Amino acid sequence: MESMGFRDAVVEVVAPSLQKEVWDVRKSGLNIMMSMKGDEKPVSCIEDCAVELKDLAEYTSRLNDLFEKYGTTGTWYAHASVGCLHVRPVLNMKNEQGAAAMRRITEEAFEIVREYGGSHSGEHGDGLVRSEFLESMYGSKMVDAFADVKNLFDPHNLLNPGKIVRPERMDDRRLFRYSNEYRHPEVTTYLDWSPWGGFQRAAEMCNNNGACRKFSTEVMCPSYRVTHDEKHLTRGRANALRLALSGQLGPEALTSENMYETMRLCVGCKACARECPTGVDMTRMKSEFLHQYHQKHGVR
């Protein structure tokens, strides 16, 4: 990297123990970056671009200039050795400005990639984000062939609609976790949630990575290990709280019996606070929920 013009420090890691730590960071890299508090998060749109190694240093420099142009920064990790750095601009996707910036950054970054003869998707799929750009990458004849195959095997468009063939615009907020209708209603809380920007934003820290579903040697999440039910999982509870707090489950959802059943089997072990890559603390959230519930229904 240094000989190819990379302008930051380059460190050789020879000791096996240090190499293990480097690989551990690699495995946890995305979730560590996604643990940023607040509305601005690293956004997946250009994270899989790949260029030849000889162009990588210049490409990264131009991406940094692009982020600066739109008043943001990017997060970086992954496979520098094969020219595929996973880069994500940090944007607030709860508003139109964030969605518009994502589109402009994506379009301009893809132009840069094509200049180098690279690929929009070096390792991952194209999905909802990149499918609309396939024609500029492969040409109209190849995209028409994709459609022919799709129509042959899936004439009713039942399998993964909107991906590869007949895609929606990647900045269509109807596809987003935070649509145009997403709200942050005021909730008077018992605990101090200011480090997260409020109780709802603390619930939003769950990015659905699924680490809590693992049946490994860690503790998280004990109730799920017994029931195998998503609602008894840290992720399921965090999503239920987020949907309730944002009003998507109805006006009384936060203090409903359904929410009580979702939270009931949380044993308060705090394993999620230690083991969740984004630091979701369901024990603390359950305490807040119980306060809200008892305020309405009284103590059982």
CATH classification of the domain holding 217: 1.10.1060
Whether 138 maps to a domain, the answer reads no
Cis preceding linkage at 266, omega within 30: no
Asked whether residue 129 is domain-assigned, the answer is no
Range of weakest confidence among 6-20, 137-151, 222-236: 6-20
User: Per the domain annotation, does 16 fall within a domain?
Assistant: yes
pLDDT in tens, 180-238: 889 999 899 999 999 999 999 999 999 998 889 888 767 899 999 999 999 999 999 99
End-of-domain residue from the set 75, 90, 124: 124
Beta carbons within 8 Å of 101's beta carbon, 6+ residues apart: 70, 71, 72, 89, 91
Residue 172 inside a domain? The answer is no
Q: Tell me what pLDDT residue 125 has.
A: 87
Give the count of domains, the chain: 2
- Which CATH number covers residue 57? 3.30.70.2740
201 and 119 in a common domain = no
Q: Are residues 105 and 19 in the same domain?
A: yes
CA dist 218 and 271 (Å) reads: 8
Q: How deeply is 142 buried, as exposed, middle or buried, from its count of CB atoms within 10 A (0-12, 13-18, 19+)?
A: exposed
Query: 146 in helix, strand or coil?
Result: helix
Per-residue confidence band for 135, with pLDDT thresholds at 50, 70 and 90? very high
264 in any annotated domain: yes
**What is the domain extent for residue 237?**
194-297
Would the pLDDT of 60 be above 70?
yes
C-alpha to C-alpha distance for 38 and 193, rounded to whole angstroms: 12
pLDDT for res 157: 95
Rounded to the nearest 5 percent, the helix, strand and coil shares of the chain are: 50, 5, 40
The pLDDT tens digits for 241-288 are: 999 999 999 989 999 999 999 999 999 999 999 889 889 999 999 999
221 vs 199: CA distance, rounded Å:
21
Pairing of strands 74-79, 40-42: unpaired
- Predicted structure pTM score: 0.84
Of 124, 145, 179, the domain-final residue: 124
Task: Report the distance separating Cα 284 and Cα 269, nearest Å.
Answer: 10
Residue finishing a domain among 124, 144, 169: 124
Whether the predicted pLDDT of 2 surpasses 80: no
Residue 265, domain member (yes or no): yes
Task: State the Cα–Cα distance between residues 73 and 14, nearest whole angstrom.
Answer: 31
Q: State whether 105 and 209 are in the same domain.
A: no
On whether residue 182 sits in a domain, the answer given is: no
Interior/surface letters 69-95, b for 16+ CB within 10 angstroms, e for the rest: eeebebbbbbebeebbbbbbbbbbbbe
Residue 300 has pLDDT above 80, yes or no: no
Does residue 85 fall inside a structural domain?
Answer: yes
